[in-house]
Amino acid sequence: MNVEGVSALVAGGASGLGEATSRALAAAGAEVTICDLNADKGIGLAAELGEDTTFVEADVTDETAVAAAIDQASAVEGGLRVSICCAGIGWAQRVASKQGPHDLGLFANVIKVNLVGTFNVLRLACAAMNENDADEGGERGVCVNTASIAAFDGQIGQVAYAASKGGIVGLTLPAARDMASRGVRVVTIAPGTFDTPLLAALPEESREQLGLQIPFPSRLGQPAEFASLALEIVRNPMLNGETIRLDGALRMPPK
C-alpha cells in the first residue's frame, strides 16, 4: 500500500515507538491521527508535524474514545487505511514471593491495557477499513500491532507483561484470516530492547549493558528502526498474519 496521502492512526503515538512511527508516517506523506493519553505531548507533536497531523486524546481501553479517534481518521478521503497500535504498559512482579502472590489487580490491568486495548483498536479499525473501497491491489487497510520478545522469552518478574504480549502474538494470525476476504492485513512487530522513555530513566552504564547483550548490533534499538519496519509492513502486501521479531538476534536470559 502506498503511504502517501492515506489516513493513518497511531495509538500510543505521542512518545517512544509510537512517536517515531507518527513522525515516519507524516514524513512519508500520510495524514496522521495521533491517539494517546498524554494530551500535552500529543498536541505538541501534532503541531510540530503540520496541518495533516491531528491529535485525539484517548485511552485504548475506552471504546467510545477510540471510536471517536477512528471516526476522525476515517473522515479523510479514502477512509482509514493504516492503524498502528504502540500503546502499552509494563509491570514487574513474580508469580509468588516472600511478599505473597502476584497482585491480581495489577496483572489484570496489564492485560487490559496491552492486550484488550490492542484488540479494541484492532477491531474498531478493521470495522472502519471494512467499508473502504479496495485499491488496485485489492487492499482496504493494514493493521500493525506491537508485541514484544517477552512474548517468547519472558524474564523473571515479567509474567503479566509476557502474557499480555503473548496474547497479541496469538491473535495475529486468526485476525489476519478473519479479515483476509476484505483485503485487510494484520501484522505484529515484537521489538527487543529499544531506547524508549521507559529506559531513559536508567543510568547510562545500565543502558550500555542492556545494549551489549544484543548480538548485533550491540546497542539498544532506535525507535526510528521500529517505525521503518512498520512502514515497510504497510508497503509490502505479502506481509500478513505474521509476528516479526525486531531484536538484533537477542534471546532474553531468565533475568
Q: Which of 161, 167, 191, 243 is catalytic?
A: 161
Q: How far is CA 55 from CA 19, 115, 211, in A?
A: 12, 23, 33
As a whole number of Å, the CA-based R_g of the chain is 18
Does the active-site annotation cover 161? yes
For residues 243 and 147, is the Cβ–Cβ distance under 8 A? yes
Residue 146 β-bridge partners: 189
Task: List the catalytic residues.
Answer: 161
